[in-house]
Structures are given as structure tokens and as C-alpha cells.
Amino acid sequence: MSDMFLRSRAQFDRARNSLAGGVATAFRAVQEPVPICFRSGHGARLWDVDDNEYVDYALGFGPMLLGHSPEPVLEAVRRQLERGIGFGASHELEAELAEAVCRTVPSAELCAFSSSGSEGVHAAIRIARAATGRNRVVKFLGHYDGWFDPIHVGVPGQACKQPGTGGQDPAAAAAVTVCPWNDPDALAAAVDTDVAAVIMEPAAVNCGAFAPRPGYLQQARQLASQAGAVLIFDEVITGYRLALGGAQQLYGVTPDLTVLGKALGGGFPISAVCGRADVMAVVADRRVSHVGTFNANPVCASAAIAAISELERSAEVVYPRLESYGAQLAELFRGEAQAAGLPVVVNQIGSAAYGFISDKPVSTYADALDSDAGAYRRFARALLAEGVHVIPRGLLYASTAHQDEDLELTRAAVRKAALKTAPVRH
């Protein structure tokens, strides 16, 4: 049988000689049978170096909410490229972008920009510590808030608080209390008057696309306020994706600080921490050092302004469409796979979803840990052979570029891939 990944394999072999691990981000290494090497992307489709075409549900790990290479973003970026790539100084677009964020995100009164979600979270924690004069941070088991030392513990895949990485400063990890999410009693016990920040994904997408239980975010809001702690919503995934104003708009709970990334930049690397003016004051009055050569880079800022404008212009149509596509996608994954004998379970919140292979519903993080992750990775591999690209861990993202014909292609692919995937536990 011919090998459809011949050039991807050759590229991986070549990369390993000079690029540590052969991939630029460790998450990419788990793709079977080999990390796919892509050549181009447009709309909902990707093409790899072997000329295979895929319907893409990975979407750059989330940023491509408008699809790959969306024209309004490209147009804005081209215009900016002609004017200058970066000045390391003020430019008109940074205020314009901050205004757009403050206009669209309910909690945002002041913003500060960085380049990645991890940096945005790092800044948010530092701001919370400076604003409260406290050190302890409460985060949630299985939530992912970036890879920096002060927060990278109890990450997706871990069953209890553990360091997220070798080389981590034990003192940084020791300052974090890891709490089970969606558990009102555990939250009440964890949030005390020594807590600087409570940080959570307001919809726990990274560990299984779990929605908050009714009243849970309100409880977090109340407990944080009572304890004088800063409530941070890590909306790096949910921002601009679940609604124009993110999960805080969808669920009607306003945090003190919000971290945005991914979809904010329309595919370009930019992130923001934004929130209450009196909390963000520690940045404004320079008690907190918030710096970075590329902060609010004009090319990235132009892309973000274009992405937000596009979403603002079309919000009434786009968000119901994303919800509808997400629901249909989840339903066809479940239906077609189960018809083929593979017990696929999908949790879905708007255009973010998470697939598992499990013979029972996956309603908690413990259920997620109990699912057959190895079988899902093999299912993801079988999907590649049928022209569908998904994140092997289970995440599924839809974009505004996905069309009915993509759904139909996906339906046939899921049926065939499921037939080839036997759920054998390792």
C-alpha cells in the first residue's frame, strides 16, 4: 500500500536533526502516524506536503475561528505590512484594538497586550498579586492556563496536583492550590482571604468541553468578591468563540480580569489581559512590570482589529451558525461512529467540542480520564486517512468557514474511520 504521509515522514526525520523533538510545540508530537507537515490552508481546508486535502477541525489549535487565511484579516495585514512591521513604539492601532476589546468584552475597562495566551495569563496573575498584596493562586484540575511556572500544575491528563513539567520552580508550584472544577463545596473551601487570584476556564474546554453547572460561575464570582480575591477568566479559547463577549457574555458572569488569545488575533499571535480599571491600575501606574518587544505589534494588532470587526459586523448570524455547525458536528461524530460500532461520545459548547471513546457519558473530568485516549488517537489517525484533520487529544473546533459540504464529507469520513478503529485499551 502506498504511504500517504511519505513527505511528512521525511520532513519529520529532517527536522529531528536540528529541531528539538522534531516539532515546534510538544503537543504536535503525539500525532499518529507522524506529525503532519502542512503546506497551505484556506477556509475550512488544509493541504499537506503529500498533497492530501483535509477538512480541518484543529484550526491551528483554535485561533482560526474565521477559517484559514480569512480575506478581511489578510487585507488588513497586507495594508499594515506596507506601512511597517513593528516600531517598538506607540502606533494608532494599539488604542483602536484596546477600544475594540473594551467594546466587545463585558469585563474589559482597560487592556494590556502580549503575544501568547501563556504571557497573558502570566500578566493576569502578576496583576492580581500586585493588586491584592497576596500570593496564593487557586486553579482547577485539568484546566490548561499556559505553560509558565506559576500556573502549570494539575494540567489536562493529570489526576491530581503534579508539576506540569520538568524544570519547574517548586516554589511557584507550591503557591498554587489545585481545586476540582464545577464542585461548589471544594470551591468554598479553597477560596480564602490569602488568595490573590482564582483563575479558571469558564467553560472547561481543554479537558473535555464541560459547561459550568448552573450557578457555579456566580458562586465563584461571589466567593472571590467576599475573599477580596481577583476572579480571572482564562478565555484564551472561549473569547470571541462562544460569543462576541466570550463565555462571560454567554453565562452572564463578569470576572475582574479576562485573558484573551487565540481567536482574538484572527490567526496572528496576540493576547490580552483586560478587566476592571481599578485592578488594571497596577499596570497603568507601573507597579507591575508588563513589557515585551512584540506587545501589540502593529501587524498582529491590524489582524485582531479586522477579526473583531468581522465578528462584530456579523455576530447575529455568525454565532447561531457556529452553534448549529458545532451541534451537527457533535451529532454526526456520535451517530456515525456508534453506527459503526465505535462508542464515540462528544461534549459540545458552540463551536468548541471534545470527543472521547467511552462506553458511558463523559460528564466530569474524572470520566474524561477514564475514557480510552489511545483508541481516540487511533481514531484521529484513521480520520486523517479519510481526509479529516482533528486534534488527537479530542478537541474539535469549527469555524465560520465550515460549510454543509464539509459536514457531509466529515460524515462519510467518520463512518469509515470508526469502522477501522477498534477500542482496545492499553
Residues interacting with ligand PMP, by CB under 6 A?
A: 61, 116-118, 121, 144-146, 201, 206, 234, 236-237, 261
DSSP code of residue 27: G
Nearer to ligand PMP, 121 or 231 (CB): 121
Give the per-residue SS3 of 362-420: CCCHHHHHHCCHHHHHHHHHHHHHCCEECCCCCEEECCCCCCHHHHHHHHHHHHHHHHC
Catalytic residue from among 50, 234, 372, 406? 234
Three-class SS of residue 187? helix
**Torsion, CA 29, CA 292, CA 147, CA 180, rounded to 10:** -140
Give dist(CA 372, CA 176) in Å, integer: 29
Closest distance to ligand PMP from the beta carbon of 205 (Å): 7
Comparison of 29 and 188: residue with beta carbon closer to ligand PMP: 29
Nearer to ligand PMP, 28 or 411 (CB): 28
Task: Go through 183-210 and write b for each residue having 16 or more CB atoms within 10 A of its CB, e for each that does not.
Answer: beeebeebbeeebbbbbbbbbbbbbbbb
Q: How far is the CB of 226 from ligand PMP (least distance, A)?
A: 26
CB of 2 to ligand PMP, least distance (A): 35
Decide if 392 contacts 23 (C-beta within 8 A): no
Active-site pick, 139, 262, 319, 325 = 262
Strands 195-200 and 45-48: unpaired
Paired sense of beta strands 45-48 and 38-42, if any: antiparallel
Within 228-372, where are the H helices?
Answer: 246-251, 277-284, 298-339, 365-370
Minimum Å distance from CB 61 to ligand PMP?
Answer: 6
Residue nearer to ligand PMP on the CB measure, 50 or 234:
234
Cis peptide before 212 (omega within 30 of 0): no
**DSSP letters for 115-183:** SSHHHHHHHHHHHHHHHHT--EEEEETT----SSTTT-BS-TT-SS--BSSTT--HHHHHTEEEE-TT-
User: Contact 77/303 with Cβ under 8 angstroms?
Assistant: yes
Closest residue by beta carbon to ligand PMP: 117
**DSSP helix/strand/coil, 194:** coil
- Residues facing residue 233 across a β-bridge: 200, 258
Is 144 among the residues known to form the active site?
Answer: yes
Nearer to ligand PMP by C-beta: 207 or 382?
A: 207
Residue 69: helix, strand or coil by DSSP?
coil
**Catalytic-role residue among 48, 56, 57, 144:** 144
Strands of the sheet containing 45-48, edge to edge, are: 38-42, 45-48, 53-56, 388-389
d(CA 50, CA 9): 10
234 or 406, CB closer to ligand PMP? Answer: 234
Q: Is 54 or 144 the residue whose CB approaches ligand PMP more closely?
A: 144
370 is annotated as an active-site residue: no
Beta carbon nearer to ligand PMP, 33 or 60: 60
| 262 counts as catalytic | yes
Residues in a beta bridge with 200: 233
CA distances from 107 to 253, 258, 332 (A): 9, 7, 36
Nearest approach in angstroms of CB 123 to ligand PMP is 12
Please list the active-site residues: 144, 234, 262
